[in-house]
Amino acid sequence: MQSGLKPEQEEKESLNNIQQKIQNSPETLNREGADREGADREGADREEMEPGFGMRLRRALGKVESIYTLIGLLLMCIVLSFMHPAFLSMRNFSNIFLQASINGILAIGITFVIISSGIDLSVGSILALSGIVTGNALSGGMPLAAAVIFGMLTGGACGLFNGLIITRFNMPPFIVTLGTMSIARGLALLSTNGGQIYGFDAKFLFIGQGKIAGVPMPVVILILLALLSSFILKYTRFGRYCYALGGNMETARLSGISPTLYLTLIYTLSGVTAGVAGIVLASRLSSAQPIAGISYELYAIAAAVIGGTSLAGGTGTVFGTIIGALIISVIRNGMNLLNVNSFLQQVVIGSVIILAVMIDSFRKRNRS
């Protein structure tokens, strides 16, 4: 019996040895390592494909940066209150909010664009063209409501043009909107032969010069747009898709989001807000001017970036953008109160824009 079992035991031992050698071979170990890496990669892909956590994290970062921006605004106000006694007057604060209203309205649309990792340099020229179109419509006898809607549609059409060219032809937003900036400005100048349109009635002037409960109408419009835009960004699918496109466009595409559709809508929205700003500005100035809004796009972008909207996309809040617009307005107001040379004011504002971009770059490095 014993002599019959030995060969079987030896055969089992030899099989075990062969299996161990196979398991410990380099090919097997490499295959197992590749399988583990593949599993890890699939897990990472699943995390990327689930934008909920990343989106909530980006929103939380945007809120924190907005709080820091608000603290900076308050500190700036405290310093200026010591430098000039008239700064804390109600009349001066009304002027600050009134000056920030046009820039704030423009910056709201810019915020959507930058969050989606884009840029829009045409909003200043679209502002002028929309004001001119509205003024021509009113001069031609069109009813107020129809003329205002016509002006907003003009801005929306310009934004739609930007979005379609960018998405359909895969062109850089910087180049496309730079071209639209020149086109819109040229159309505004051509339609008036370089002149301005004036002689509006009191109903239209109320949009830019009237008050509701003591609050200037441009500020009321800014507040309403800010509330509506903030709701859209926080609680709607469109807002979530803006963050997703800016965070990782390829991942958003794989998740079923259409970049072509939603980027086109985003640029159209930016054009509509520029149209609203143009109508408000024409009413406030009592005239529609083809040279209105020059360099306004820079201030709108600066307001968004100062407020925590990252130029890399995926991060930003409307609340922060409004705070950024107020900071620019406070700087301008403070320099006016202190009788700072107007040419020097341009230097200061330009330096603030560069500083805002540098801060955004540092924030981006810290996140990475």
Q: Rounded mean pLDDT of the chain? A: 86
Length of the chain: 368
DSSP 288: E
Distance CA 166, CA 180 (A): 11
Following CA atoms 367, 296, 286, 105 in sequence, which dihedral angle do they give, to the nearest 10 degrees?
-20
pLDDT at 41: 44
Q: What is the pLDDT of residues 333-364, one digit of tens each?
A: 999 999 999 899 989 988 988 888 888 788 77
User: Is residue 144 exposed (0-12), middle (13-18) or buried (19+ Cβ within 10 Å)?
Assistant: middle
Label residue 39 by pLDDT band (50, 70, 90).
Answer: very low
Which residues does residue 215 pair with via DSSP β-bridges, in sequence order? 212
Convert the pLDDT of each residue in 246-258 to its tens digit: 999 999 999 999 9
Closest by Cα among 130, 150, 147, 156 to 200: 147
First to last CA, the chain: 72
Indicate the pLDDT class of residue 47, thresholds 50, 70 and 90.
very low
Cβ proximity of 315 and 246 under 8 Å: yes
Most distant CA pair in the chain: distance in Å? Answer: 121
HSE (side-chain half, CA atoms, 13 Å) at 242? 31
Which residues have C-beta within 8 Å of that of residue 99, sequence separation ≥ 6?
329, 332, 333
Q: What confidence tier does 177 reach under pLDDT thresholds 50, 70, 90?
A: very high
Is the pLDDT assigned to residue 263 strictly greater than 60? yes
pLDDT at 45 over 70: no
188-247 confidence digits (pLDDT tens): 999 999 999 999 999 999 999 999 999 999 999 999 999 999 999 999 999 999 999 999
Mean pLDDT of 135-154: 96
What Cα–Cα distance (Å) separates residue 216 from each residue in 28, 126, 152, 323, 328?
75, 24, 21, 18, 19
Residues 306-320: b if buried by 16+ CB within 10 A, e if exposed: bbbbbbbbbbbbbbb
Kindly state the average pLDDT of the residues 93-121: 96
Domains of the chain: 57-367 (1.10.3470)
CA 134/CA 136 separation, integer angstroms: 5
